[in-house]
A and B are shown apart, each in its own frame.
Chain A
């Protein structure tokens, strides 16, 4: 297995004057489950499509399983599973026909798993694609992506249209395939609770760059919110090293920091003659704090 199944180096993508990806550097370690976070329009789908070789980057380099993304061989593609954000399948095929159509391209295909997932997701294989809801289409795309047991699974907002039961089943399936540590999963999502449940790493995309890339536990360990209560009013422009969002009101300040070291805390306490309380943040809070302009 390759050390980094996905390796992006200074990856750029421009649409005329609009810069979507502005030098993205990202190495996704083998066996990890990485959640890609970012606001709408930050370029998550563009990043995924560049990695899959669907679109050509304006600059930089993208590699998947050791191969240039733009020139992926059939053998490498057979080791990759993909769930697109918008699933489009041939409307005139039935679910079974669509599955069989895709199955024929793969050297390995676990039809038992397909049957199980169809049952778990409650998808009728005899139904025609055209009459299915977006959520059911997404379920089929997930089945198609898992059926050949890929080494690398790339999912673009896979649970966006799923109902709670299907989402639970999907996350369970994801955990099941990730548990042996042999598969690498990259998935973009807005649902941070899903990400917290299955991801061990997180990459946050902001302004066309990777703002954070690392262990999810480290992120939650590092990023804290400081609640500062001073004796005198705090100056509105008060800043601290590593602080990325501050709200100051009279004697009170709420400041989010990348790392709340003991030195920093004692420095604030002595500088402002203040009491500093450190608050833990969940992933959603961290995301909101990081994306607040």
Chain B
């Protein structure tokens, strides 16, 4: 029996992403040992919130990698047919998540010098929410997840959390509440995993474009839901775009790019999802604002940056999700009449177009609402322009990462690279938080870096093997 558990635990050392994560943790442990040797404290270099955020991010990522991997093991035919399959897998998964949640904060505490219990409680909340997203990556869960992120953006919440981190004894009830809530959510996820069946939509949606699932296995789960909505949207899409043009092949670059975008209803799917994303988040923010403000007054000017921040991931998440599905179809499309160079150019142009459609959907809808209801005067015009330029440059950078990683056609690797890429932008976000963002420097760096990566992605796509 022990060897069975040990064998299952051994699985958590096999995927490349886990090995990289363990190497990083080992590196941090070495750093901790070095700190003891030279009596340095990282808190001298970085403010505690920044250090705390890094620890939080690392812990949540590792714990949720564990949940995602557990789901990969549970959402298989073996879990239904092999006797005594689920229980040991669920137990080992739970132990892994518990070790990740407690282990990393304990390991790095020597360096970051933060209060352990509130840190673990926050990590548990983050990991359970993201874990729920891993279990059920639907629009509904995504919206709740980002609403929770938006919640943390409020100054009052941040203030309360920083007090909790500084004076854990005084906030012991809040810590206990957070821990209890996250344990309850973990319990719910585990209970759902224990009864996960092939005909449940969660069975299919591990990560978009996952190569581990055969089509027959997802057939039951694919009935109804988002795919039907997409099919309907395409059916309603202007007929001439998808009408066969027998004997009249698409000859111009623009016509071919436009036709390749038929499969995303000419960008209408990402556009609508982008609009929906922003409107739904804005609605949630209004609700949260009601909950916080005793006078129930709408202060859009105050929450404008939050809306921008929250609507920022719309295009990267929606487009990469749609294109991960599309990436698995690209080898077949590659055999259609087009030279390799033309195919790559047209496909990349379709990606860029879809991405911009989605971004425009999220951006225009949030911007329109903000301007329609806020009290912003002309005094804030420069700041508004600077923010817009900054977010646009950020979108270019995110698009370039998607184009670069899409060629691997591996969802796990793409997500990992995107998370690492996002973590690298953390100092910039810290700069924003402290009002010390140098727009003149950051925007060109994002733009030039983004276009350089985009060009490199194009060159690599030209040599890609369509296995």
**What is the interface of chain A, defined by CB distance below 8 A to chain B?**
49, 52-56, 70-75, 77-78, 80, 82, 84, 87-94, 97, 99-109, 111, 128, 130-134, 137
Considering the complex, which residues of chain B in the window 449-467 have a beta carbon less than 8 Å from any beta carbon of chain A?
463, 465-467
Of the listed stretches B187-195, B215-223, B382-390, name the one at the interface; the rest are far from the partner chain. Answer: B215-223
Complex contacts, B466 vs chain A, CB 8 Å: 49, 54-55
Any A CB within 8 A of the CB of B156: no
Q: Which 6 A-B pairs have the closest CB atoms?
A: A92-B230, A78-B337, A130-B222, A103-B244, A54-B466, A55-B465
Max count, chain B CB within 10 A of own CB: residue among A71, A106, A109, A130: A130
Max count, chain A CB within 10 A of own CB: residue among B214, B244, B263: B244
Complex contacts, A104 vs chain B, CB 8 Å: 244-245, 249-250, 259
Complex contacts, A128 vs chain B, CB 8 Å: 227-228, 231
| Residue interface mask B232-249, A partner, CB < 8 A = 1 | 001100000011111101
| Residue interface mask B335-375, A partner, CB < 8 A = 1 | 11111101000000000000000000000000000000000
Complex contacts, B427 vs chain A, CB 8 Å: none
Any A CB within 8 A of the CB of B334: yes
Query: Is A105 within 8 A of B337, CB to CB?
Result: yes
Complex contacts, A72 vs chain B, CB 8 Å: 339-340
A44 to B: closest C-beta gap in Å: 14
Give A104 to B219 CA distance when docked, in angstroms: 28
Query: Is B328 within 8 A of A88, CB to CB?
Result: yes
Query: Is B249 within 8 A of A90, CB to CB?
Result: no
Query: Is B222 within 8 A of A91, CB to CB?
Result: yes
Give A104 to B465 CA distance when docked, in angstroms: 25
A-B contact pairs, 17 of them (CB 8 A): A52-B335, A53-B334, A54-B467, A71-B340, A77-B337, A84-B331, A89-B329, A97-B235, A97-B242, A103-B244, A103-B245, A106-B336, A109-B244, A128-B227, A130-B219, A132-B219, A134-B214
Give A169 to B237 CA distance when docked, in angstroms: 35
Give A91 to B215 CA distance when docked, in angstroms: 10
Complex contacts, A106 vs chain B, CB 8 Å: 249, 336-337
Query: Is A74 within 8 A of B338, CB to CB?
Result: yes
Query: Is B332 within 8 A of A84, CB to CB?
Result: yes
Query: Is A91 within 8 A of B249, CB to CB?
Result: no
Complex contacts, B227 vs chain A, CB 8 Å: 91-92, 128, 130
Any A CB within 8 A of the CB of B113: no
Among B216, B338, B339, B340, point to the contact of A105 (Cβ < 8 A).
Answer: B338
Give A61 to B324 CA distance when docked, in angstroms: 32
Complex contacts, B230 vs chain A, CB 8 Å: 92
Query: Is B216 within 8 A of A90, CB to CB?
Result: no
A73 to B: closest C-beta gap in Å: 5
Query: Is A93 within 8 A of B332, CB to CB?
Result: no
Query: Is B337 within 8 A of A93, CB to CB?
Result: no
Query: Is B250 within 8 A of A105, CB to CB?
Result: yes
Complex contacts, A91 vs chain B, CB 8 Å: 222, 227, 325
Query: Is A109 within 8 A of B246, CB to CB?
Result: yes
A156 to B: closest C-beta gap in Å: 11
Query: Is A94 within 8 A of B328, CB to CB?
Result: no
A71-B340, A107-B247, A134-B214 given; 11 more Cβ-contact pairs under 8 Å: A49-B466, A53-B334, A56-B465, A92-B227, A93-B231, A97-B234, A97-B262, A100-B244, A101-B262, A103-B244, A133-B219
